[in-house]
Structure 1
Amino acid sequence: MENKITPPWLKGLLISLILIVIGLIIYFAGQAQNKSLGWIQFCIMIAAIIWACTNYAKQMQGNVTFGNVFAHGFKVTAAIAAITAVYVFLAFKFIYPEMIDASIEEARKNMEAKGNMSDDQIKQGLDMMRKFFMPFAIGGMLIMSAILGAIASLIGAAVAKKNPNPTLEQ
């Protein structure tokens, strides 16, 4: 009897849905600007990818290598990143478009607090931020997901139980 292996895209989908639900809870609780709550999502993502790696090794009955487990974890990461990128786009366009204005207003306050920019420079910087907000939000999310996913995949591959049985090909 062959073991059924859960595909990386399915694990990525489930993890993404959990992260999206947590993000929506944070938003509707009025805590969207709370940076520490945002880090909770990253910690959950790391833990979930490590779980995905160890679960894969378990489903393969330990007949895996470090590279196999890492590759599985990074495929899960790619699925999470792709699904989350679509969510970020839809969220900022339709679910909570006012978050763009809130982020720009926070940036304005930070620029004014530093005091090293003129009003024209601040206005120009904020106009540029508004113009490129969506590409930077999606790009930043993709880069952060890739970095954290690689770290989590490395950890998952390191802690996964491995007992590879090389087969002789004739």
Structure 2
Amino acid sequence: MEPKKPMSHFVAASVIAAVLIIYTLVLQFTGLWKNPSMAWISYILMVAGLIFFVNQYGNALDNQVTFGNLFSYGFKTTALLALIMIAFTVILFSIFPDIREKMVEIARQRMEDRNTPEDQIDKGIEMWQKMFWVLTIGGIILVYAIVGAIGSLIGAAVTKKKPVNPLDQMSM
């Protein structure tokens, strides 16, 4: 039996990104994106995808890997996933600029519900609009780094490991 070739980081990141993009588009077109609790499902999907692909990576190498190898694979996948999702987000907001306007309306409504003074609401929204891309891209990087680290740690922890003993490879 010939050895299995492990799946590349890019393929794993692309598959997880495809799932997250489809989920995001479903939320957008059904109007469910307004519910903040729906965002947690995307993080659960991301962690589950990372666990799955880290496990597949270990299995492809006959589990002769270390915790560090597995974590590294998962975190590299996370880095590529973050880049893909940043590109998707830029494209999404470029194609549908009304999403940004709806986000402003919802933010204004939530601040009004908390009895925030009108001048503070205006300043907050003005600042958010000026810093939109910095906050959006920075937020994606930060959140994906945290969630990706969690998913990679869990994936590396649950994957079976049979590290190779270097002394067994020595020939006498």
Q: TM-score, normalised by structure 2?
A: 0.91
1:106 — aligned with what? Answer: 106
Displacement of 1:131 in angstroms is: 1.5
1:163 — aligned with what? Answer: 162
1:45 — aligned with what? Answer: 46
The answer for unaligned runs of 5 or more in structure 1 is none
% identical equivalent positions = 36
Residue 32 of structure 1 aligns to a residue in which SS? helix
1:91 — aligned with what? Answer: 92
Contact 2:5–2:60 under 8 Å retained in 1:
yes
Displacement of 1:169 in angstroms is: 6.5
1:137 — aligned with what? Answer: 136
Question: Are positions 1:72 and 2:82 aligned together?
Answer: no
Displacement of 1:11 in angstroms is: 0.4
126-135 or 68-77, larger mean C-alpha shift: 126-135
1:92-143 C-alpha deviation (Å, 9 max, x unpaired): 121x2111111111111222222243x2332122111111122212211221
Contact 1:100–1:133 under 8 Å retained in 2:
no
1:38-64 C-alpha deviation (Å, 9 max, x unpaired): 211111110000011111110010100
Between the aligned partners of 2:22 and 2:39, the Cα distance in structure 1 is: 13
Contact 2:20–2:46 under 8 Å retained in 1:
yes
- In the alignment of these two chains, the number of paired residues is 168
Between the aligned partners of 2:13 and 2:170, the Cα distance in structure 1 is: 33
Contact 1:6–1:56 under 8 Å retained in 2:
yes
Between the aligned partners of 1:80 and 1:2, the Cα distance in structure 2 is: 27
Amino acid at match of 1:99: I
Between the aligned partners of 1:43 and 1:19, the Cα distance in structure 2 is: 10
The answer for unaligned runs of 5 or more in structure 2 is none
In the TM superposition, what are the counterparts of 1:116-155 in structure 2 within 5 Å? Answer: 116-117=116-117, 119-155=118-154
Contact 1:5–1:59 under 8 Å retained in 2:
yes
